[in-house]
């Protein structure tokens, strides 16, 4: 294990039937058999609504790979719970769209291929009539960088 | 009980040094069962990284050996508890976790389907249409007048109506069936569709609730002339049908709406909040 090993987070989307159970099952089984450490949560949506403090520790660290749903949704689920993800060091695998083998291959890979939508790192909007200024997502230098737990 | 201000419990399944690994199938079944019961867990394997410790109480599960069990017993505290799962089935592991959860009075998951709007602040222009539209107090504004989702559990399950009135397609429901509401990327064609939906509501009278108000007033007028409550009810039902078509609103949500008078009152409150938030920005 190296200090900059990315963390792995798996969302089971327990409270909805929107992800193919075969995809979820394949990813979770391979993850369990990988011998790697990982974080698994029942439902990121529920945690976000609760502002579960676990989201801050999950968002922290040198990088994270998340098996869940659409990157845009994942980005704002974390951000709206006060735990913004570092866009430069986060890769989201979309189990609603990608096949199980493709998801697990990227999840277990040692590198991170960042794919969060660019833009703001955390909530906050420009007043009506003003064009929001996009911010580069470079969490390492941003004041909005996720807090390390 | 509020969604927040609850006690949490961190579950750790430890299979690192000085712990005998679980069988492959049992590990998968135990993890699956815990997730399906609403728990989150940290799995510590032989490699990789886990999120660091924090102030949340933790329950560490493992088949401890080589004296680790004794060490674990000595290290146990109010914050951290260790449970040796040697010889336990996956059902028994879940039962042991549930027992500690109940004892700690930690949050019990699964009582609420997490259906609520998530704002994409890269797209949101703070126009407050969502706040003025929602009758259920889901939205609010922060001290600086910025739109926020404040009461997620007030949202009506499977109702994505507020996302339909957002002119920027900035409102997501991650568990919705289709994009871009489910969080999929917003395409130009999606924006045109969203605009069209807003136009539909505009054609119906400025907004959907204006339509409802106008129809309610007409129905009340007829009611006062004709004393026919059946016609008034019929009018409301017609109105609700159009609402359902325009906003993709589940019938059960519409049927749970309060009386037209109460809708008017709530709509007035929501609009006042939106206007106050917009004024605060200036």
pLDDT score of A94:
98
pLDDT tens, residue by residue, B15-59: 988 889 999 999 999 999 999 999 999 999 877 667 777 778 899
Phi, psi of B10 (to 5 degrees): -95, 125
pLDDT score of B217:
58
Nearest neighbour of A40 by CB, restricted to B43, B55, B126: B43
- Domain coverage including residue A88: 7-108
Sequence-distant contacts of B209-217: CB under 8 A, at least 24 apart: B209/B133, B209/B135, B209/B263, B209/B267, B211/B239, B211/B242, B211/B243, B212/B239, B212/B243, B212/B260, B212/B263, B213/B260, B213/B263, B213/B264, B213/B267, B215/B239, B216/B260, B216/B261, B216/B263, B216/B264
Tell me if B183 and A33 make a contact (CB, 8 A cut-off).
Answer: no
Q: Which residue has the tokens 């419990």?
A: B9
- Mean pLDDT lowest for which of B31-40, B196-205, B261-270? B196-205
Among candidates B16, B48, B50, B116, which has minimal Cα distance to A15?
A: B116
Helix (H) or strand (E) holding B10: strand B10-14
More confident residue, B232 or B122: B122
Instruction: Flag whether A1 is in a domain.
Output: no
> Which A positions 4-43 lie with beta carbon below 8 A of chain B?
5-8, 12-16, 18, 28-29, 32-43
- Class of domain B10-104 as given by CATH: alpha beta
Contact B149, A51 (CB under 8 A): no
Give the count of beta carbons closer than 10 Å to the beta carbon of residue B271: 16
Which residues, including other chains, have CB under 8 Å from residue B34's CB and lie 6 or more apart?
Answer: A40, B11, B41, B93, B94, B97
Instruction: Flag whether A95 is in a domain.
Output: yes
pLDDT tens, residue by residue, B127-168: 888 888 888 899 999 888 899 999 999 999 998 888 988 889
pLDDT score of B193:
67
Tell me if A73 and B50 make a contact (CB, 8 A cut-off).
Answer: no
Q: Which two tokens stand for residue B20?
A: 């005998």
Instruction: Flag whether A57 is in a domain.
Output: yes
Q: pLDDT band for A143, please (50, 70, 90 cuts).
A: very low
Instruction: Flag whether A34 is in a domain.
Output: yes
Q: pLDDT band for B12, please (50, 70, 90 cuts).
A: very high
Q: Does residue A30 register a pLDDT over 50? A: yes
Q: pLDDT band for B209, please (50, 70, 90 cuts).
A: low
Q: pLDDT band for A136, please (50, 70, 90 cuts).
A: very low
Tell me if A42 and B112 make a contact (CB, 8 A cut-off).
Answer: no
pLDDT tens, residue by residue, A70-80: 999 999 999 99
pLDDT score of B35:
97
Contact A120, A132 (CB under 8 A): yes
Instruction: Flag whether A40 is in a domain.
Output: yes
Q: pLDDT band for A129, please (50, 70, 90 cuts).
A: very low
Q: Does residue A60 register a pLDDT over 50? A: yes
Give chain A's domain count: 1
Among candidates B5, B266, B236, B12, which has minimal Cα distance to B138?
A: B266
Q: pLDDT band for B227, please (50, 70, 90 cuts).
A: very low
pLDDT score of A66:
97
Among candidates B202, B214, B212, which has minimal Cα distance to B242?
A: B212
- Calculate the CA A40 to chain-centre distance: 12
Nearest neighbour of B109 by CB, restricted to A29, A46, A124: A46
Which residues, including other chains, have CB under 8 Å from residue A92's CB and lie 6 or more apart?
Answer: A65, A66, A68, A70, A71, A74, A75, A115, A116
Give the count of beta carbons closer than 10 Å to the beta carbon of residue A148: 13
Nearest neighbour of B48 by CB, restricted to A8, A12, A57: A8
Q: What three-state secondary structure class fits B140?
A: strand
- Give start-end residues of each CATH 3.40.50 domain in chain B: 10-104
Give the count of beta carbons closer than 10 Å to the beta carbon of residue B67: 9
Q: How many whole angstroms separate alpha carbon B217 and alpha carbon B196?
A: 27
> Which A positions 63-122 lie with beta carbon below 8 A of chain B?
69-74, 76-77, 79-80, 96, 117-120, 122
pLDDT tens, residue by residue, B88-135: 999 999 999 999 999 988 888 888 899 999 999 999 999 888 888 888
Q: Which residue has the tokens 């919705």?
A: B176
Q: How many whole angstroms separate alpha carbon A9 and alpha carbon B51?
A: 10
Contact A24, A12 (CB under 8 A): yes
Among candidates B122, B125, B128, B150, which has minimal Cα distance to B137?
A: B150
Residue in chain A lying closest to B143 (CA): A124
Contacts of A149 in chain B (CB under 8 A): 51-54
Q: pLDDT band for B281, please (50, 70, 90 cuts).
A: confident
Nearest neighbour of B48 by CB, restricted to A37, A47, A57: A37
């Amino acid at each position: 294990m190296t200090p900059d090993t990315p963390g792995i987070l798996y969302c089971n989307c327990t409270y909805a039937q929107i992800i193919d159970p075969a995809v979820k099952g394949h990813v979770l089984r391979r993850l369990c058999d990988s011998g790697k450490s990982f974080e698994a949560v029942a439902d990121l949506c529920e945690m976000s609504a609760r502002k579960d403090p676990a989201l801050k520790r999950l968002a922290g660290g040198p990088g994270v790979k998340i098996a869940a749903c659409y990157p845009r949704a994942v980005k704002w689920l974390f951000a709206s719970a006060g735990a913004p993800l570092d866009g430069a060091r986060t890769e989201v695998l979309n189990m609603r769209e990608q096949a199980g083998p493709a998801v697990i291959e990227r999840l277990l890979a040692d590198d991170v291929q960042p794919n969060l939508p660019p833009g703001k790192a955390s909530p906050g909007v420009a007043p009506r009539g003003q064009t929001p200024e996009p911010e580069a997502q470079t969490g390492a230098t941003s004041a909005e960088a996720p807090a390390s737990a | 009980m509020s969604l927040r201000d609850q006690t949490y419990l961190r579950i750790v399944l430890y299979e690192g040094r000085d712990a005998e690994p679980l069988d492959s199938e049992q590990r998968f079944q135990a993890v699956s069962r815990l997730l399906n019961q609403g728990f989150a867990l940290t799995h510590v394997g032989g490699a990789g990284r886990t999120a660091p410790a924090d102030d949340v109480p933790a329950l560490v599960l493992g088949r401890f050996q080589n004296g680790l069990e004794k060490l674990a017993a000595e290290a146990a505290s109010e914050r951290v508890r260790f449970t040796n799962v040697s010889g336990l089935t996956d059902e028994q592991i879940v039962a042991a976790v549930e027992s500690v959860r109940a004892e700690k009075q930690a949050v019990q998951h699964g009582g609420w389907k997490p259906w609520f709007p998530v704002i994409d602040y890269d797209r949101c222009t703070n126009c407050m249409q969502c706040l003025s539209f929602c009758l259920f107090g889901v939205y609010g504004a922060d001290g600086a007048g910025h739109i926020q989702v404040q009461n997620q559990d007030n949202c009506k399950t499977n109702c994505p109506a507020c996302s339909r009135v957002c002119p920027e397609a900035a409102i997501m429901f991650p568990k919705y069936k289709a994009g871009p509401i489910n969080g999929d990327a917003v395409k130009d064609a999606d924006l045109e569709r969203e605009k069209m939906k807003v136009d539909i509501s505009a054609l119906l009278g400025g907004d959907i609730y204006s339509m409802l108000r106008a129809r309610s007033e007409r129905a009340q007028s007829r009611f006062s002339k004709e004393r026919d409550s059946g016609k008034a009810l019929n009018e409301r039902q017609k109105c609700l049908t159009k609402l359902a078509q325009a906003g993709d609103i589940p019938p059960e949500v519409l049927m749970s709406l309060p009386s037209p008078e109460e809708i008017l009152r709530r709509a007035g409150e929501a609009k006042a909040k939106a206007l106050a938030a917009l004024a605060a920005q200036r």
